[in-house]
């Protein structure tokens, strides 16, 4: 087994990008949530204080993982899948699982609730990186190189669909197929699985009225502007009223009980209104740089496990950002997925910091850059 040697400093460009996103997100959470927190809890700083607590935990985990050799993840890869199944199963136990908005996705930890599917996303990437590295000689075989790893991943996916959290389930499958492709699985197996899963996904969408509502709202939000299309229309108004430079930090109107969930899934709409086109471009560029640095790490890391791990984590963060950004812009149906590092939410922030901590550690095991190439 490959034993990588550590010899470089962490990728501080990546670290800086993440810190900028977190800092900007913290400011925007305060701006977007103040009036809601004041009305609901009598404390305009309620959400900000909770997010700062999550931030301390997340940064502590990030720094710890940055300093801890990533090779320990090999030893817990299979156990991690077991932990995933346990976490997803106990959600359905009364008193432990928490239901919000008709979905049972959270574990009651007393101080705060924890969304298990967020952690499962990272654990799935760790499992696939380890399994596909160990079975690299069989990667182009249908059973060992494709069916077994995908079948294992589909078990937690089924539990996530049951919650229901269809968007996270689709995301995990998409990330898994991407990692399988990078590892060298045959393209015809991947294409065949997509052709088989698309009708299944369509059936699951049609089985739930609210999923069809999201699809129909995506196609024509103005058909029901006061109910089903209300949120996305208010998001459009946020983008439109922001103009090139925004109305100014704290001066947005949509957060004043017009746009639902302004500090969580639709925080980008508030960013668009208050900082304008320039603010949106800045966010997109920062995510683009984060993804670029992640793939640079994946390309340069010394061993196959680390390379697949870095690629999988980068793809996960990229897809989460894309789904949120495209959703609030009306380019795809809304999902209700947090924007990494920017949206309010403890689980999302902590797990995203965990993922970046692993990436930062992987960056210390990179091969030397060729002469003349940017670090």
pLDDT digits (tens, 9 = 90+) for 322-352: 999 999 999 999 888 899 999 999 999 999 9
CB contact at 8 A, 85 and 119: no
pLDDT of residue 6: 60
Query: Domain limits of the chain?
Result: 12-363
Is 80 exceeded by the pLDDT of residue 64?
Answer: yes
Does the pLDDT of residue 281 top 90, yes or no? yes
pLDDT digit string (tens) for 87-133?
Answer: 999 999 888 888 887 778 888 887 778 899 999 999 999 999 999 99
In whole angstroms, give the CA distance from residue 261 to residue 280: 18
CB 291 within 8 A of CB 317: yes
Per the CB < 8 A criterion, the answer to whether 2 and 357 are in contact is: no
Model-level pTM? 0.94
What pLDDT does residue 374 have?
46
CA distance 232 to 234: 5
Residue 16, Cβ neighbours under 10 Å: how many?
13
The neighbouring-strand residues paired with 99 are: 104
Q: Give Cα separations from 43 to 33, 53, 56, 187 (angstroms).
A: 10, 16, 21, 54
What are φ and ψ of residue 39, in 5° steps? -70, -40
46 sits in which H/E element: helix 46-67
pLDDT digits (tens, 9 = 90+) for 105-117: 888 887 778 899 9
Phi, psi of 94 (to 5 degrees): -60, 135
């Amino acid at each position: 087994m490959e034993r990588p040697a550590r010899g470089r400093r962490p990728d501080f460009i990546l670290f800086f990008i993440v810190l900028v996103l977190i800092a900007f997100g913290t400011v925007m959470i305060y701006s977007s949530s103040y009036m809601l927190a004041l009305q609901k809890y009598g404390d305009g700083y309620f959400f900000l204080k909770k997010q700062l607590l999550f931030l301390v935990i997340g940064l502590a985990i990030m720094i710890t993982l940055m300093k801890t050799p990533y090779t320990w993840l090999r030893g817990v890869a299979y156990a991690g899948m077991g932990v995933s199944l346990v976490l997803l199963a106990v959600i359905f136990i009364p008193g432990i699982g928490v239901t919000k908005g008709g979905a049972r996705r959270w574990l009651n930890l007393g101080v705060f609730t924890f969304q298990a599917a967020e952690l499962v996303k990272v654990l799935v990437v760790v499992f696939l990186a380890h399994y596909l590295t160990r079975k690299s000689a069989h990667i182009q075989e249908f059973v060992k190189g494709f069916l077994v790893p995908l079948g294992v991943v589909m078990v937690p996916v089924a539990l996530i669909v049951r919650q229901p959290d269809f968007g996270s389930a689709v995301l995990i499958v998409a990330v898994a197929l991407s990692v399988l492709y990078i590892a060298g699985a045959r393209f015809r197996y991947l294409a065949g699985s997509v052709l088989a899963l698309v009708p299944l996904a369509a059936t699951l969408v049609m089985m739930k009225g609210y999923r069809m509502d999201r699809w129909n709202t995506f196609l024509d939000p103005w058909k029901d502007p006061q109910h089903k299309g209300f949120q996305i229309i208010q998001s459009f108004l946020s983008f439109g009223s922001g103009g090139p430079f925004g109305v100014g930090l704290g001066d947005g109107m949509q957060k004043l009980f017009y746009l639902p969930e302004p500090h969580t899934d639709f925080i980008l709409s508030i960013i668009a209104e208050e900082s304008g086109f320039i603010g949106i471009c800045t966010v997109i560029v920062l995510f683009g740089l984060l993804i670029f640095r992640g793939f640079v790490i994946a390309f340069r890391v010394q061993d196959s496990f680390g390379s697949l791990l870095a690629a999988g984590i980068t793809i996960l963060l990229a897809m989460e950002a894309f789904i949120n950004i495209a959703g609030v812009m009306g380019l795809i149906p809304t999902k209700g997925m947090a924007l990494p590092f920017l949206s309010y939410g403890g689980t999302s922030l902590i797990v995203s910091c965990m993922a970046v901590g692993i990436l930062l550690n992987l960056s210390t095991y990179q091969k030397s850059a060729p002469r003349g190439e940017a670090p």
